Amino acid sequence: MRYILVNKPYEVLTQFTDEHGRATLKDFVPVPDVYPVGRLDFDSEGLLLLTDDKALQHRLSDPKFKVPKTYWAQVEGTVSEEALAKLRRGVQIKEGLTAPAQASIIAEPAELWERSTPIRFRANIPTSWLAITISQGMNRQVRKMCAAVGLPCLRLIRARIDELELGELAPGQWRELTPEESRKLKAKFSMTKNPANRKVLVKGEKAPQPTPRRPLKS
């Protein structure tokens, strides 16, 4: 089994083919038969996990398992305590009420790379950086959460998936997980149960059959 971390650049699709000729993961990761765990929007950047471990891919992608993901969001405007409180409580977006998030103001991340297409700044309007951790997977969720509290998102970078961090990977660079990282990841999620405490089956896996009861003697 292979487990690969890649720093997905801006305007790269989270897939290996595209009929319209846009950049894909194939342009950066020359490894066959690995697939992304979850998605990262075309206009977002940062950490992706690729693997050929279908069982683990299923568990990490399934919203039931609430895998935490941390994003760095560059937003337009000054972040107020009220906006932070709303993000931490959950906000209403088109898809519904978001679960409470971890949200904090941060300095611009150290040694941040230049984006291939520069951010469009507006004169006399400051920008701020937020660290936001969520465990849901609604469409463009972090951007919509920021917009809902009056902070349009200018740039979005995924920095962390559970305990896996972006580290020093430059855009387009990738690395294999270390044996210890792979071991910890599989140990944490391979036997995870869903909230109903029922085993989640991977495609092709048979459900366990109940043990037959012996008839009571009269």
DSSP for 148-178, please give it: HTT--EEEEEEEEETTEE-TTPPTT-EEEPP
How much is the pLDDT for 64? 80
Q: Where are the domains of the chain?
A: 1-64+163-194, 68-161
Residue 197 has pLDDT above 60, yes or no: no
pLDDT score of 199 more than 80: no
Eight-state DSSP code of residue 140: T
- pLDDT given at position 202: 45
79-112 pLDDT, tens digit per residue, is: 999 999 999 999 999 999 999 999 999 999 988 9
- Structure confidence by residue, pLDDT tens digits, 131-169: 999 998 888 999 999 999 999 999 999 999 999 999 999
- pLDDT computed for residue 63 by the predictor: 77
pLDDT value at 191 more than 60? no
CA pair distance 173, 167, nearest whole angstrom:
11
Topology of the domain comprising 68-161: Alpha-Beta Plaits (3.30.70)
Instruction: Assign 62 a pLDDT band (cuts: 50, 70, 90).
Output: confident
- Residue 212 has a pLDDT of 52
Which residues does the annotation mark as catalytic? 41
CATH fit for domain 1-64+163-194, picks 3.40.50.300, 2.60.40.1180, 3.40.190.10, 3.30.70.580? 3.30.70.580
Mean pLDDT of 40-46: 96
Cβ atoms of 128 and 151 closer than 8 Å: yes
Mean predicted confidence (pLDDT) in 34-38: 93
Evaluate whether 1-64+163-194 and 68-161 have a shared fold.
yes
Higher per-residue pLDDT: 66 or 29: 29
Return left, alpha or beta for 75; rule: phi > 0 is left, psi -120 to 50 is alpha, else beta: beta
Lowest mean pLDDT among 27-31, 33-37, 59-63, 198-202: 198-202
What pLDDT sits at residue 214? 54
Per-residue model confidence (pLDDT) at position 218: 42
> pTM score > 0.75 for this model?
yes
Strand partners, 45: 157
With pLDDT > 90 as the criterion, what percentage of the chain qualifies?
A: 69
pLDDT of residue 200: 43
At a CB cut-off of 8 Å and minimum separation 6, what does 110 contact? none
Res 192: pLDDT: 46
Q: Which residue is it, tokens 């270390």?
A: 178
Question: E strands, 65-134, where?
Answer: 69-76, 92-93, 96-97, 102-106, 127-134
